[in-house]
Amino acid sequence: MKPLNICLLTASLLCGAPASAAVIVLDFEGAGNSAQLLNFYNGGTDSQGNSGTNHGIQFGSNALSIIDADAPGGTGNIANEPSPSTVMFFLTGSANLNYAPGFDTASHFITAPRQPRR
């Protein structure tokens, strides 16, 4: 099996709405293994029926979640993720995020795929 050769992006995203200065942290915990995130943070579900907190944030179909292989139900070849076990990634195109109120600050963490064991 070939290792995942992409960069896993945005394990956490901080959004502050300009008017309210609220901070929203997205850690993707609770999203499914290899699921499209879709409406996971928008009062709906990911492609596997899992739901997160409704922050009014919707993701495009290229935004996927994966759970670390050392966690129950996970198959991700990842390490050093800033949240316990789940990250967002994309294989093609871009991982679009739609947040209607907008945001004035965004911060993210990037983790690299785990190196194959020898």
Q: Encode pLDDT of 7-55 as tens digits.
A: 334 333 444 444 556 788 899 999 999 999 999 999 999 999 999 999 9
Half-sphere exposure of 72 (CA within 13 A, CB side): 1
Residue linked to tokens 């919707």: 58
Specify the pLDDT at position 114.
Answer: 56
Return the closest-CA partner of residue 106 out of 4, 10, 2.
Answer: 10
Mean per-residue pLDDT over the chain, rounded: 81
- For residue 68, pLDDT over 80 is answered with yes
pTM equals 0.77
Model pLDDT for residues 78-104, shown as the tens digit of each residue: 888 888 999 999 988 888 999 998 877
**Element housing 64 (H / E):** strand 64-67
